[in-house]
Amino acid sequence: MRIGIMARAIGESGGIGVYTRNIIRELLNLDHHNEYVLFYRDATDAGAFTSHSNVQEHLINAPNKAVWDQLAIPRACRRQRIDVLFHPKFTAPLFAPCPVVMTVHGADWFIPEQAQYYSRWDVRYIRLFMPLYFRKCRRVISVSRLTTTNFERALRLPPGKIQTVYFAPARHFSRVHDQHVLQAVRERYRLPQRFILTLAKRNGDERKNLRGIFAAYAHYHNSVDDPLPLVVGGKDCHHFREEYNLNNQSYGADVLFPGWLDQIDLPAIYTLASLYLYPSNLEAFPIPLTEAMACGTPIVTSNVNGLSEISGDAAVRVDPGDPQAIAQAIDAVLSDSALARSLSEKGLQRARCFSWDECAAATLAILQEAACAS
């Protein structure tokens, strides 16, 4: 069987990019029988999998994503005689000459309180085209039970059309015990001895609830004698200092922006952190929670959507709209070593629920089923 994979998201820095890179790698490591044809849009992404004897890589040029998806990829599938096409990022080529499987990473555009985080154009576009993508796809993979349920309700899907398949943090995420590694990473990013960690990104601060995080940190900072610094990791996040007027706040000097945190260093950073703070407003499958759990870092997160589903009982869950409740949760974990230790142990245990071996095996089975279904 020739399996085509649309890999245009492979270079993205967010969660979908992480998923795309890892699911391709894990499928190739698992399956040496079928042939894989990887379609790239950016030439800089090609070459990562040439060591696999059952892989072909093709650069497909197109002026924009829509043309790439809907015109260029169907032509490429015909030329390459693809038996089933997989897109890890929630669109499907409507004129593909073969069965299609896509992965959806949330149904936010169909939920009014979640759709507010997207532009009106994005919401209209997705609400118009997503039903067509679902109709085209033989099977659809969902990254969380919540996503599955929301799509089943919004689109009135037949049984079996969409299937939940959890993925996992990259395999190198585990607690770091080497003190030399920890010290080197601490020095590289100028991290304090003890700190609260959160991860964010520009143009995503409303979804990530940065305003609520800073308000909660202000409450916490003012209520304890020796507050821990707050480390906000992410590219260009230092702009938040001005945008949120942190220089003029008493707690502002204790908010630190180390910049982009390299994936290879993140396990050490999670290990060094006393608490991972992630009271996001909206997540389908919050990868940072699985990363923190795999590293045994105590977590405070939200009691809503995918954050609640993925964290289970391995985190203190709070209302993301209540900064005071977030602050109280921060203080509770940092002032109670027994609670912190319990969260760490539960996190390590829950992290075992998220496995790339299981994800790749389930994904391959769905692709094979889609190729053979009438």
Distance, CA of 339 to CA of 221 (rounded, Å):
20
> Phi/psi zone of residue 103: left (φ > 0), alpha (ψ -120 to 50 degrees), beta?
beta
- What percent of the chain is predicted at pLDDT more than 90? 88
Report the pLDDT value the prediction gives residue 113, as an integer from 0 to 100.
81
Compute the chain's Rg from CA coordinates: 21
Q: Give me 295's structure tokens.
A: 């590293």
Judge whether 289 and 301 are in contact, CB under 8 Å.
Answer: yes
In tens, the pLDDT along 89-98 reads 999 999 999 9
Report the pLDDT value the prediction gives residue 282, as an integer from 0 to 100.
87
| pLDDT surpassing 80 at residue 125 | yes
Give the residue with greater pLDDT, 312 vs 160.
312
Q: Give the pLDDT mean for 350-357.
A: 95
pTM (two decimals): 0.90
| pLDDT surpassing 90 at residue 205 | no
Report the pLDDT value the prediction gives residue 159, as an integer from 0 to 100.
84
Q: Tokens 């590694």 appear where?
A: 181
Distance, CA of 171 to CA of 193 (rounded, Å):
26
In tens, the pLDDT along 242-295 reads 999 998 888 999 999 999 999 999 999 999 999 999 999 988 899 999 999 999
Q: At what angle do helices 287-294 and 337-350 cross, to 10 degrees?
A: 110
The DSSP code sequence of 21-43 is HHHHHHHHHH-SSSEEEEEESSG
| pLDDT surpassing 90 at residue 237 | yes
Q: Tokens 């109670």 appear where?
A: 336
Helix (H) or strand (E) holding 351: none
In tens, the pLDDT along 53-83 reads 999 999 999 999 999 999 999 999 999 999 9
Report the pLDDT value the prediction gives residue 213, as an integer from 0 to 100.
97
Report the pLDDT value the prediction gives residue 167, as an integer from 0 to 100.
94
- Sequence-separated (6 or more) residues with CB below 8 Å from residue 216: 277, 279, 323, 324, 326, 327, 330
Report the pLDDT value the prediction gives residue 102, as an integer from 0 to 100.
98
Distance, CA of 45 to CA of 59 (rounded, Å):
9
Query: Hey, what's the torsion of the CAs at 304, 306, 310, 314, to 10 degrees?
Result: -20
Judge whether 181 and 172 are in contact, CB under 8 Å.
Answer: no
**CB atoms closer than 10 angstroms to residue 348:** 17
Highest mean pLDDT among 111-115, 172-176, 206-210, 234-238: 172-176
- What percent of the chain is predicted at pLDDT more than 70? 100
Q: Give the pLDDT mean for 213-220.
A: 97
CA dist 37 → 2, 75, 78, 148, 353 (Å): 7, 14, 12, 28, 30
| pLDDT surpassing 70 at residue 374 | no
CA dist 107 → 22, 119, 368 (Å): 22, 15, 25
- Domains (range + CATH), the chain: 2-168+355-372 (3.40.50.2000), 179-353 (3.40.50.2000)
Mean pLDDT of the chain, nearest integer = 94
pLDDT band with cut points at 50, 70 and 90 for residue 206: confident
